[in-house]
Structure 1
């Protein structure tokens, strides 16, 4: 994990675990955590803002690297709390620290560090937009 100097506040996003999210044993199939993390990041920035950035400025975000550890099973019918913090690491990259917490748990069931880069419509790196930096408190 990179050194974080300006770690954001913690954002919370609830996720209901449905049967379709689980494997044969009733435990969440691990790739689904990446979907939950994506939804939580979208919630932090806002769907309308992401759509506006793409339509008006031709700027979007892509996962550059993801590191995830699954430490405890999350099961069908759980309602989990996706906890998200982030920091900026240079002009093009943001790093998102995300965790899945089960109700009443004393530790995270899943942890991930996801590096995102800002890209234009030509799939070239571009600086993080000033309005996104302002929106996210930087």
Structure 2
């Protein structure tokens, strides 16, 4: 794996999530496994549901979580509208690393952080290289190419 000083991080993506009562435990605080769902939704938002569906249907390519490291530092509560902040980088031909944070409204620090390693797999559940479409979509662009 590359050291974090050698990687090129993507721009930061933001994804709002409304916290519903069903997301919480008896005390009104989000039940911790739900944070993984919020992170998943944010990653899907970055890549795009259309792209994910096209890759699976046309090429038999999908993504799987390989490893997760998550820390919960502040309780997220019922009725909060959180900001899921996402950055990522590529780590070789098969893997991407997603650095994600959950911020509460008016938060001064991340309430939850995660480093999630994703691998690219085919329908036989074997590793396969990240497809060119994903690399092109997610690769950092030169400033003159950004819109």
TM-score bracket, normalised by the shorter chain, equals: over 0.9
> Which residue of structure 2 aligns with residue 121 of structure 1?
123
Q: 2 CA distance for matches of 1:106 and 1:2? A: 30
Taking the aligned partners of 2:30 and 2:2, their CA distance within structure 1 comes to 28
Q: 107, 110, 114: which one pairs with 2:109?
A: 107
- Say whether residues 1:3 and 2:3 are aligned partners: yes
1:76-95 matches, cutoff 5 A: 76-95=78-97
What is residue 144 of structure 2 aligned with on the other side? none
Deviations 1:39-70 (A, max 9, x none): 00000000010000000010000000001000
TM-score by length of 1: 0.97
* Residue ranges of structure 2 left out of the alignment (5+ in a row): 141-147
Matches within 5 A, 1:1-138: 3-4=3-4, 5-138=7-140
Looking at structure 1, the residues matched to 100 and 73 of structure 2 have their Cα atoms a distance apart, in angstroms, of 14
Q: Which runs of 5+ in 1 are unaligned?
A: none
**In 2, distance between residues paired with 1:113 and 1:85?**
10
Tell me, in whole angstroms, the C-alpha distance in 2 between the residues paired with 1:129 and 1:3. 23
Corresponding residue number in structure 1 for 2:143: none
How far apart, CA to CA, are the structure 1 residues paired with 2:87 and 2:3? 14
Could you tell me how far apart the structure 2 residues matched to 1:60 and 1:8 are?
21
The TM-score with structure 2 as length reference comes to 0.92
Figure out how many residues of one structure are paired with residues of the other and give that number. Answer: 138
Q: CA deviation at 1:3?
A: 2.2
Aligned-pair distance for 1:32? 0.1
* Moved segments of 4+, more than 6 Å: none
Question: RMSD across aligned C-alpha pairs, in angstroms?
Answer: 1.1
